[in-house]
């Protein structure tokens, strides 16, 4: 399908925006609530943020964290930093406590833009945020109380000229974003993405999903996720429009699609299962969407999902923040496979696209396994700027995942004789719950800090929505007591709501290996009795 692409020299985000603003000025770039914001407006507002950040002393290579819900101001922040050559560090708005501190400190952020609704979380850790020079509060700083750091309102930063010029040279290989991924054996790692990397991620998406300048995508995923960045970047490259939802709501989802007349939407995690689980309605197929893309979707509902909502699903791909588009099924091929009844290939992981990545399945010694055998997915790019640059301030982790000159995903799959990959399991010890990668290490760190806890192990439990729920297995200190409700009360103020365990089990001893580490594979195999289920118990989390 034909689509608009920037000239090869324009793989830098700020220059792409300027180009689109000059050519498409009055065209709507993004819809949000009742706002319809043009390319020209986005460019001018981004210039204001670039000038504002520059006045704070932010320059090329500096990191700026942001903790904001979905809103156009997030885009202005991101594009403004891109024009300076500075680096955006988006923070999951559910984070608090030590994890929030880690993301700000590990990134080396010089400034932080935070919505006032999250300000109490910053105040809770403010005395530990060494190196942070400025805090910008949206919409104003009336709620800020005696912060020991220079504090500004958003308007103070934003009230600058709408024109911006700079002599700073910015190239495709310069850093653009830090996206933190769930830690597995340690704290979360920040994957550094360059301008060219995000450009290629979006360009590949356009190519394989078949997006055009007439595509209007609805995306209600959090803007701090890389997935939302793909939508906004692909839209920018195409010179199209997209609608930014506030957040995902199954009840209002189709109303939002109809409101914006969106012909595409992006999904992730358990979204398709939740949408599908809604009571069928006579007008389910009466919607403007012609296609949906994302992943994953259970094979047992995929075909009926298409029929019920009268659209095409394009989720036959596999990737990570560090490497998007490792395997794909091109849209036209996916349609052909569905007609042949080969749904497991059409909506699975896809197959190698040699113009982007080489892909192999390997054993624990990095030797390639045969078709049909299970191996770890490893890949390496075949064109520049197609992968992350490394993990911020963590060269050891970077070298580890790139050993033997292949990027090790930590995921297991098998390949059939037609070259299609099929996901098997996660080799990494993380839990994926409703689109969120959750660090078992970070859950355990909070639980183990409880005075009554000796040790704990966080593992995945099966979910009704096709992904994982969090199970925490706890060993309590002798002569101490701990109820599940007390553990919930301990966890809630110290971790994101989606990390708080749903299932709680207690043990007297853990199975351990010779060096004392808990053998989690044995915990996964164990049949627990008297499991406490937060949802069945009616315990409601405060978000």
In degrees and rounded to multiples of 5, residue 354 shows phi and psi of -65, -20
Q: Which residue has the higher pLDDT, 339 or 527?
A: 339
- Show the tokens assigned to 151: 């504090």
CA 81 to each of CA 15, 89, 167: distance values in angstroms, whole numbers, following the listed order: 12, 10, 15
**Least confident window among 71-75, 215-219, 318-322:** 318-322
Average pLDDT, the chain: 91
Cα distance between residue 158 and residue 153, in whole Å: 9
Cα distance between residue 20 and residue 236, in whole Å: 7
Q: Which of 106, 130, 42, 114 is nearest to 79 (CA)?
A: 42
What does the pLDDT read at residue 186?
Answer: 60
* Residue where a domain terminates, one of 123, 158, 193: 193
Cα distance between residue 238 and residue 212, in whole Å: 6
**In the structure, what pLDDT confidence band is assigned to residue 518 with cuts at 50, 70 and 90?**
confident
Q: Which of 460, 458, 432 is nearest to 444 (CA)?
A: 458
Per-residue pLDDT at 384 exceeds 50: yes
3-state secondary structure of 144: coil
For residue 383, tell me if it sits in a domain.
no
Cα distance between residue 543 and residue 540, in whole Å: 9
Is residue 505 within 8 A of residue 531, CB to CB? The reply is yes
Domain coverage including residue 168 = 39-193
CATH number at residue 463: 3.30.300.30
**In the structure, what pLDDT confidence band is assigned to residue 145 with cuts at 50, 70 and 90?**
confident
**In the structure, what pLDDT confidence band is assigned to residue 194 with cuts at 50, 70 and 90?**
very high
Q: What pTM was estimated for this model as a whole?
A: 0.84
For residue 470, tell me if it sits in a domain.
yes
Q: Which residue has the higher pLDDT, 99 or 380?
A: 380
- Show the tokens assigned to 502: 């749903």
**In the structure, what pLDDT confidence band is assigned to residue 3 with cuts at 50, 70 and 90?**
very low
* Residue where a domain terminates, one of 163, 193, 223: 193
Q: How many domains does the chain contain in total?
A: 2
Q: Which residue has the higher pLDDT, 358 or 517?
A: 358
Per-residue pLDDT at 210 exceeds 80: yes
For residue 465, tell me if it sits in a domain.
yes
For residue 179, tell me if it sits in a domain.
yes
For residue 243, tell me if it sits in a domain.
no
- Those residues whose C-beta lies under 8 Å from the C-beta of residue 172, and which sit 6 or more positions away, are 11, 12, 194, 195, 196, 199, 384, 385
How far is residue 152 CA from its own chain's centroid? 28
How far is residue 367 CA from its own chain's centroid? 31
What does the pLDDT read at residue 8?
Answer: 46
What does the pLDDT read at residue 198?
Answer: 96
3-state secondary structure of 326: coil
Average pLDDT of the residues in 150-168: 96
For residue 519, tell me if it sits in a domain.
yes
* Residue where a domain terminates, one of 193, 215, 231: 193
The partner residues of 111 in beta bridges, in order of sequence, read 64, 134
What does the pLDDT read at residue 185?
Answer: 52
Q: Which of 153, 120, 160 is nearest to 135 (CA)?
A: 153
What does the pLDDT read at residue 1?
Answer: 41
Crossing angle for the helix pair 226-238 and 195-209, to the nearest 10 degrees? 70
| Strands (E) located in 139-188 | 150-153, 175-181
Per-residue pLDDT at 376 exceeds 50: yes
**Least confident window among 50-59, 188-197, 404-413, 460-469:** 460-469
Average pLDDT of the residues in 454-471: 83
**In the structure, what pLDDT confidence band is assigned to residue 294 with cuts at 50, 70 and 90?**
confident
For residue 473, tell me if it sits in a domain.
yes
How far is residue 343 CA from its own chain's centroid? 26
CATH number at residue 147: 3.40.50.980
Is residue 27 within 8 A of residue 97, CB to CB? The reply is no
Per-residue pLDDT at 281 exceeds 60: yes
3-state secondary structure of 361: strand
| Strands (E) located in 47-125 | 63-67, 87-90, 109-115
For residue 152, tell me if it sits in a domain.
yes
Pairing of strands 421-426, 109-115: unpaired
Average pLDDT of the residues in 444-459: 89
- Those residues whose C-beta lies under 8 Å from the C-beta of residue 526, and which sit 6 or more positions away, are none
């Amino acid at each position: 399908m034909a689509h608009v692409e920037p000239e090869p020299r324009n793989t830098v985000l700020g220059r792409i925006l300027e180009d689109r603003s000059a050519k498409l000025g009055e065209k709507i770039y993004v819809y949000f609530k009742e706002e319809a914001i043009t390319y020209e407006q986005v460019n001018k507002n981004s210039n204001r943020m670039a000038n504002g950040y520059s006045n704070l002393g932010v320059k090329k290579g500096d990191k700026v964290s942001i903790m904001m819900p979905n809103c156009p101001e997030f885009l202005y922040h991101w594009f403004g930093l891109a024009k300076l050559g500075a680096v955006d560090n988006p923070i999951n708005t559910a984070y608090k406590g030590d994890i929030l501190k880690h993301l700000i400190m590990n990134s080396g952020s010089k400034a932080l833009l935070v919505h006032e609704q999250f300000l109490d979380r910053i105040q809770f850790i403010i005395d530990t945020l060494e190196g942070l020079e400025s805090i910008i509060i949206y919409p104003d700083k009336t709620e800020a109380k005696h912060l020991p750091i220079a504090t500004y309102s958003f308007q103070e930063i934003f009230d600058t000229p709408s024109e911006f010029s700079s002599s700073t040279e910015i190239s495709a290989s310069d850093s653009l974003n830090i996206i933190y991924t769930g830690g597995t054996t340690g704290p979360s790692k920040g994957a550094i993405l360059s301008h060219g990397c995000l450009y290629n991620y979006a360009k590949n998406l356009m190519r394989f999903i078949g997006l055009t300048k007439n595509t209007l995508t609805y995306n209600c995923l959090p803007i701090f996720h890389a997935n939302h960045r793909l939508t906004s970047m692909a839209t920018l490259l195409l010179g199209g429009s997209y609608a930014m939802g506030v957040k995902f709501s199954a009840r209002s989802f189709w109303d939002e699609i109809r409101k914006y007349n969106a012909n595409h939407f992006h999904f992730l995690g358990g979204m398709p299962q939740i949408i599908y689980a809604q009571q069928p309605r006579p007008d389910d197929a009466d919607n403007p969407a012609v296609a949906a893309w994302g992943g994953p979707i259970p094979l047992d509902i995929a075909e009926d999902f298409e029929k019920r909502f009268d659209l095409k699903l394009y989720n036959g791909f596999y990737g990570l923040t560090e490497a998007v588009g490792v395997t794909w099924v091109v849209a036209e091929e996916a349609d052909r496979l569905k007609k042949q009844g080969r749904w497991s290939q059409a909506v699975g992981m896809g197959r190698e696209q040699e113009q982007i990545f080489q892909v192999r399945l390997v054993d624990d010694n990095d030797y390639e396994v045969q078709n049909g055998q299970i191996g770890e997915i490893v890949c390496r790019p075949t064109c520049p700027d197609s992968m992350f640059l490394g993990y911020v301030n963590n060269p050891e982790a970077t070298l580890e995942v790139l050993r033997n000159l292949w990027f090790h995903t930590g995921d297991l799959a098998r390949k059939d004789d037609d070259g299609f990959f099929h996901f098997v399991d996660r080799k990494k010890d993380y839990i994926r719950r409703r689109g969120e990668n959750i660090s078992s290490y970070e859950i355990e760190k909070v639980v183990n800090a409880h005075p009554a806890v000796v040790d704990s192990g966080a593992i995945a439990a099966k979910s009704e929505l096709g992904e994982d729920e969090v199970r925490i297995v706890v060993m309590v200190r002798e002569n101490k007591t701990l109820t599940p409700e007390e553990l919930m009360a301990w966890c809630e103020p110290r971790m994101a709501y989606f990390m708080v365990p749903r299932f709680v089990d207690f043990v007297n001893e853990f199975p351990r290996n010779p060096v004392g580490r808990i053998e989690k594979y044995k915990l996964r195999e164990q049949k627990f009795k008297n499991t406490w289920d937060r949802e069945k118990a009616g315990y409601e989390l405060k978000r």
